[in-house]
């Protein structure tokens, strides 16, 4: 079968979730020609198609802002188009009850956020192909141990297409490109949960009367919480590394949801929409040059790409190493989002939306800077990367920025 060969881009980003859109915009703003490849038909990944519409905090819970840059730009974009609002502490008008939490976090409308992301991406000069499934990286030996990725093969309506690239960023959420390139990866297990937005006659009436329409949209989380509480008895853990395994996770989740509504009066409730991608917290992550373990509270790492708190508790401070985004034997491949080299607590801390934006932005800037120097992301002078990220508003101070 013929392969259609497209023109070369400086940076090809695979996956248009939060990490991918952040990487693409950061690379384009830093002067690269950028192509973003998404297999779905909406941008935002789990945050939109997966209906995960809660933006975890950018602050440490003690009044210090930990994360800035694109992560902050995106939380503001998300609330600017929907019914939700930030707490007044963080510049919002304080319309809703959850604003009293005073943390820099929010619910958002996944549908309006997805619409806004299209404009945001295109406005930054990123080229976008939707409904395009990246299948394999094309690899070339540099020497005995190192391999270069010359581009990405994609299946789309026109057939098989090859997109040549100087640097490739894997933001697929499941490390498809990194894994198939040969980067060592770890596959993870998931508890069973299935999340939708629904409404009932009661909530519709109550919140229509109070004028608080954001509450009309209920976030209905069925099954397990992140820690396994609520995982259905007798069910195994779930993986997302084969069609059979994914199908089992989705069908079991939907059946669990369906059972939850049994006995309810059918004309008194509805589900707004079902997720259009599997809601796995983890599928696979790379094993990079270094691994973030989340045991480094208060430690400034030598190659920090920015500070973060831990969304689960207040008063903790971490920095994420650049070396978690690549493997030394793959000089023009970067990982971003929930597939970076992070394990245990480190993975819990970095898998959420603001941190995915943070690692996405760092990957995008690193890719663009590497392109200007021959394309080796592993040989980037750290001070140049840090200076550019600081210029973008990324925060590095371990204690955050006092509000």
Ligand X SMILES: Cc1cc2nc3c(=O)[nH]c(=O)nc-3n(C[C@H](O)[C@H](O)[C@H](O)COP(=O)(O)OP(=O)(O)OC[C@H]3O[C@@H](n4cnc5c(N)ncnc54)[C@H](O)[C@@H]3O)c2cc1C
Q: Which of the stretches 48-56, 246-254, 313-321, 366-374 binds ligand X when contact is defined by CB under 6 A?
A: 48-56
Question: In angstroms, what CA-CA distances link 77 with 15, 264, 312, 357, 401?
Answer: 20, 36, 24, 13, 21
User: Does 33 engage in binding with ligand X (CB under 6 A)?
Assistant: no
Beta bridge partners of 35: 12, 127
User: Does 181 engage in binding with ligand X (CB under 6 A)?
Assistant: no
Q: Which residue has the tokens 């008008």?
A: 93
Nearby residues of 367 by Cβ (< 8 Å), 6 or more positions away: 10, 11, 23, 27, 32, 167, 169, 334, 377
Euclidean distance between CA atoms 23 and 130, whole angstroms: 16
Give the contact letters, 121-140, x = binds to ligand X (CB under 6 A), - = no.
Answer: ------------xx------
Phi and psi, residue 383, nearest 5°? -60, -30
User: Does 337 engage in binding with ligand X (CB under 6 A)?
Assistant: yes
Query: In 173-231, where do the E strands start and end?
Result: 185-187, 193-200, 218-223
Minimum distance between the CB of residue 228 and ligand X, rounded to whole angstroms?
A: 12
Q: Which of 24, 305, 352, 395 binds ligand X (CB under 6 A)?
A: 352
Which H/E stretch holds residue 79?
Answer: helix 69-80
Q: Which of the stretches 136-144, 247-255, 348-356, 369-377 binds ligand X when contact is defined by CB under 6 A?
A: 348-356
Q: Which of 13, 25, 56, 79 binds ligand X (CB under 6 A)?
A: 56
Which H/E stretch holds residue 391?
Answer: helix 382-391
Q: Which of 13, 24, 28, 52 binds ligand X (CB under 6 A)?
A: 52
Give the contact letters, 276-315, x = binds to ligand X (CB under 6 A), - = no.
Answer: -x-xxx----------------------------------
Minimum distance between the CB of residue 54 and ligand X, rounded to whole angstroms?
A: 4
Work out the angle between the directed axes of helices 353-371 and 18-29 (0-180°, nearest 10): 30
The pairing of strands 106-107 and 127-129 is: unpaired
Nearer to ligand X (CB atom), residue 40 or residue 321: 40
Q: Which of 35, 37, 286, 363 binds ligand X (CB under 6 A)?
A: 37
Q: Which of the stretches 8-16, 137-145, 161-169, 385-393 binds ligand X when contact is defined by CB under 6 A?
A: 8-16
Euclidean distance between CA atoms 382 and 399, whole angstroms: 21
Euclidean distance between CA atoms 357 and 72, whole angstroms: 9
Q: Which of 10, 13, 17, 345 binds ligand X (CB under 6 A)?
A: 17
Nearer to ligand X (CB atom), residue 64 or residue 193: 193
Nearer to ligand X (CB atom), residue 124 or residue 142: 124
Q: Which of 10, 38, 310, 345 binds ligand X (CB under 6 A)?
A: 38
CB 83 within 8 Å of CB 213: yes
Structure tokens at 175: 């490390």
Euclidean distance between CA atoms 62 and 64, whole angstroms: 6
Residue 302 Ramachandran class (φ > 0 left, ψ -120 to 50 alpha, else beta): alpha
Nearby residues of 255 by Cβ (< 8 Å), 6 or more positions away: none
User: Does 109 engage in binding with ligand X (CB under 6 A)?
Assistant: no
Nearer to ligand X (CB atom), residue 178 or residue 394: 178
Q: Which of the stretches 117-125, 275-283, 295-303, 377-385 binds ligand X when contact is defined by CB under 6 A?
A: 275-283
User: Does 396 engage in binding with ligand X (CB under 6 A)?
Assistant: no
Euclidean distance between CA atoms 249 and 251, whole angstroms: 6
Minimum distance between the CB of residue 220 and ligand X, rounded to whole angstroms?
A: 12
Q: Which residues from 187-206 bind ligand X, rule CB under 6 A?
A: 193, 195
Euclidean distance between CA atoms 46 and 110, whole angstroms: 9
Minimum distance between the CB of residue 139 and ligand X, rounded to whole angstroms?
A: 16
Nearer to ligand X (CB atom), residue 10 or residue 38: 38
∠ CA 371-339-110, nearest 5°, is: 100
Nearer to ligand X (CB atom), residue 231 or residue 281: 281
Q: Which of 46, 77, 161, 394 binds ligand X (CB under 6 A)?
A: 46
Q: Which of the stretches 14-22, 81-89, 284-292, 365-373 binds ligand X when contact is defined by CB under 6 A?
A: 14-22
Binding site residues, ligand X, CB under 6 A: 14-20, 37-40, 45-47, 52, 54-56, 133-134, 171-173, 176, 193, 195, 277, 279-281, 337-338, 351-353, 356
């Amino acid at each position: 079968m013929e392969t259609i060969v497209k023109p070369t881009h400086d940076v090809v980003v695979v996956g248009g979730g939060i990490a991918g859109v952040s990487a693409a915009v950061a690379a384009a703003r830093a002067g690269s020609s950028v192509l973003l490849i998404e297999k779905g038909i909406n941008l935002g990944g789990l945050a939109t198609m997966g209906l995960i519409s809660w933006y975890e905090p950018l602050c440490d819970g003690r009044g210090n802002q930990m994360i800035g840059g694109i992560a902050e730009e995106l939380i503001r974009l998300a609330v600017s188009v929907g019914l939700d609002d930030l707490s007044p502490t963080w510049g919002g008008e304080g319309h809703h009850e959850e604003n009293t939490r005073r943390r820099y976090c929010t619910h958002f409308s996944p549908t309006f956020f997805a619409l806004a992301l299209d404009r945001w991406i295109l406005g930054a000069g990123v080229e976008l192909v939707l409904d395009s499934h990246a299948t394999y990286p094309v690899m070339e030996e540099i020497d005995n141990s190192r391999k270069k990725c010359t581009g990405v093969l994609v299946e789309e309506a026109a057939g098989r297409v090859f997109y040549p690239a100087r640097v490739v960023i894997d933001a697929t959420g499941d490390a498809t490109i990194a894994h198939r390139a040969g980067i060592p990866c770890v596959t993870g297990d998931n508890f069973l949960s299935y999340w939708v937005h629904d409404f009932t006659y009661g909530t519709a009436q109550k919140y229509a009367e109070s004028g608080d329409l954001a509450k009309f949209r209920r976030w209905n989380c069925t099954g397990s919480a992140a820690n396994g509480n609520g995982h259905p008895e007798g069910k195994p853990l779930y993986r997302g590394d084969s069609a059979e395994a994914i199908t089992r996770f989705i069908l079991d989740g939907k059946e669990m949801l369906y059972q939850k509504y049994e006995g309810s009066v059918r004309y008194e409730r509805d589900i707004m929409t079902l997720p259009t991608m599997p809601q796995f917290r983890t599928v696979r992550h790379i094993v990079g040059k270094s691994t973030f373990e989340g045991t480094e509270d208060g430690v400034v790492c030598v190659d920090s790409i920015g500070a973060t708190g831990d969304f689960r508790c207040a008063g903790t401070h971490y920095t994420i190493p650049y070396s978690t985004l690549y493997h030394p034997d793959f000089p023009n491949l970067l990982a971003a989002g929930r597939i970076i080299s992070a394990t245990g607590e480190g993975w819990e801390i970095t898998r959420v939306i603001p941190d995915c934006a943070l690692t996405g932005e760092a990957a995008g800037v690193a890719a663009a800077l590497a392109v200007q120097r021959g394309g080796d992301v592993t040989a980037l002078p750290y001070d140049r990367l840090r200076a550019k990220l600081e210029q973008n508003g990324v925060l590095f101070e371990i204690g955050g920025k006092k509000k």
